[in-house]
Structure 1
Amino acid sequence: MDALLSRLFSTEEEELYILDCMAYLMVFMAACTFIALLFENVPYGRYSTSKYGLQINVRFAWFVQELPALLLPLCLLLRASSSKTSLLPNQLLIAMYLCHYVQRLVTTIIGKAVSCIYPFLIRGGKPTPLASFALAFVFCSYNGFMQIRYLSHYAEYPTNWVTHPCFLVGSVLWFVGWIMNVQSDHILRNLRKPGETGYKIPKGGMFEYVSGANFLGEITEWAGFALAGHSVHSAAFAIFTTVVLASRAVAHHKWYLAKFEDYPKSRKALIPFLF
């Protein structure tokens, strides 16, 4: 991998410049996405219809579209020759990133064996449009490369960074968000019993306060990651995630209110008691 990238970039300064440009482009795309989502929901799940073209099995789509977010970084790390991967701040930040996608895609069995499970735990679910699947696949590849290449080769932190307030607060935020995300996914996966169809009101955990508890968890995760990482690359990821998931939370909240007459009126869309 390093040999291939060395052919693409003549110097490390050039590659770092490209990584910076990728981050700024992601921020620009977040702004464009924000405007687009004011007029149209992301066509997936309950918002998916045949008008968006070819439909793909939801389990297959979830598995394949997020796979590059884990496999590409692992390839970069396994072939990395940079000393940055031996530094504790870099290692912890890389672990934060990978832990999210490990939870989403794999579970560790007896330390080394892995089994891809998250997509296959999905019960029901409408097919995913090809366009949404393709965009998600591209984003996961793009972001996975940007985050891990920067952290494994270019990120430099003070020797005491792991005790810096930004890192400590960011790490706590990441962990709280990760726990919230895991719990919310568990609640959503178990809304339907085997053989059941249709939608139900999620209950328990942060769903008692917001309709988008899973989205709030993931936004909190990457906000913490950005604070701990202290880079334009991690910040761009947090901004893009917030734009997309906040829109989904609002759309879900409106849908729940319209669908269920007994939906709890005290619940907010994304931020408890506020929004």
Structure 2
Amino acid sequence: MTIADRMHCYKDLLNFLSLGMFLAGILHLYHHRKIQKCYGRHMASTNTKMLPARLTWFIQELPAFLVPLLLMLTSHKPYSLGKMLLLGTFCLHYFHRTFIYSLLVRGQPYPLSVMLGAVISCSVNGFLQGHYLLHCAKIEEWKTFGCLRIGLFLFYIGMAINIHSDMCLRKLREKGEVNYKVPKGGLFEYISAPNYFGEILEWFGYAIATWSIPSLSFAVFATCFIGPRAIHHHRFYKRTFKHYPKSRKALIPFFL
């Protein structure tokens, strides 16, 4: 019998981690509401250790894919189709981020400290979502209300927006180029950061699909991290490009 077979639902631990993730997001939002200098275009000159973007994305996203997968593979308990569908959906996102996006990204080098922080948060979140779904969730009790279908629909719409927007950004630069350009196509015609909008839609859709505090806490966490970046990206474009479309919003079409 494996450790995973004997694992109970550690509800108190899940609540603690969920609260911690929620508070971490709120604190990040508070400290970065006026300035974004962690990485990328907003980062100030620094002597910190830098790593290639592709290597960074691969390393930092990998734990969120591996941890829930290992929790599932090391257990011989039978799981419902609903649980497998939701866990597979979560792993699909991080499979793409780890093994596809990381090979295609053309971003600037990332600070080592940012990568280490992301490794920790992805590891915690991988355990949080995986353990909840495998050992605590009782999906069959509420899935008839349509939460599963609605949530997964929103998740996959968000994922499609996210992937398409990243593709539009990659097409802006030829190999070796570092200059920023005005993005076009898809939801870029309406907002400056549809890649972030898509990811936020993914995780709130996932929270609806699982109808759980752990998933909601991560949706809030993700929004607090990338939401402010979307607003600062918008300000960067308006400041850098004189004829940047005035009708574009930052994050939510026609609203924000």
Q: TM-score, normalised by structure 2?
A: 0.93
- Could you tell me how far 1:264 is from its partner in structure 2? 0.9
Dislocated runs of 4+, deviation >3 Å: none
- Could you tell me how far 1:228 is from its partner in structure 2? 0.8
Structure 1 residues 99, 66: CA separation in 2 closer, same or farther (over 3 Å shift)?
same
Cα-Cα RMSD: 2.0
Which of 131, 137, 141 aligns to 2:119? It is 137
Structure 1 residues 258, 16: CA separation in 2 closer, same or farther (over 3 Å shift)?
same
Deviations 1:64-121 (A, max 9, x none): 11111112222111102333xx212211211221111122223xxxxxxxxxx32121
Which of 49, 55, 58 aligns to 1:54? It is 49
* Counterpart contact for 1:59–1:119, Cα < 8 Å: yes
Alignment pair present for 1:273 and 2:238: no
Runs of 5+ unmatched residues, structure 2? none
Residue matched to 1:154 = 136
Which of 204, 215, 219 aligns to 2:200? It is 219
Structure 1 residues 208, 147: CA separation in 2 closer, same or farther (over 3 Å shift)?
same
Structure 1 residues 28, 187: CA separation in 2 closer, same or farther (over 3 Å shift)?
same
* Counterpart contact for 1:70–1:98, Cα < 8 Å: yes
Counterpart residue type for residue 267 of structure 1: R
Q: Name the CA distance, whole Å, in 1 between partners of 2:54 and 2:32.
A: 25
Identity %: 39
* Counterpart contact for 2:36–2:43, Cα < 8 Å: no
Q: For 1:40, what is the secondary structure of its paired residue?
A: coil
Which of 118, 135, 144 aligns to 2:101? It is 118
Deviations 1:199-233 (A, max 9, x none): 11110011111001000000000000001110100
Aligned length in residues: 256
Q: Name the CA distance, whole Å, in 1 between partners of 2:151 and 2:211.
A: 9
Which of 8, 29, 33 aligns to 1:34? It is 29
Deviations 1:37-64 (A, max 9, x none): 1243151111223426211111111111
* Counterpart contact for 1:179–1:217, Cα < 8 Å: yes
Residue matched to 2:152 = 171
Q: For 2:46, what is the secondary structure of its paired residue?
A: helix
Residue matched to 1:112 = none
Q: Name the CA distance, whole Å, in 2 between partners of 1:262 and 1:66.
A: 36
Q: Name the CA distance, whole Å, in 1 between partners of 2:5 and 2:193.
A: 39
Q: TM-score, normalised by structure 1?
A: 0.87
Runs of 5+ unmatched residues, structure 1? 107-116
- Could you tell me how far 1:159 is from its partner in structure 2? 5.2
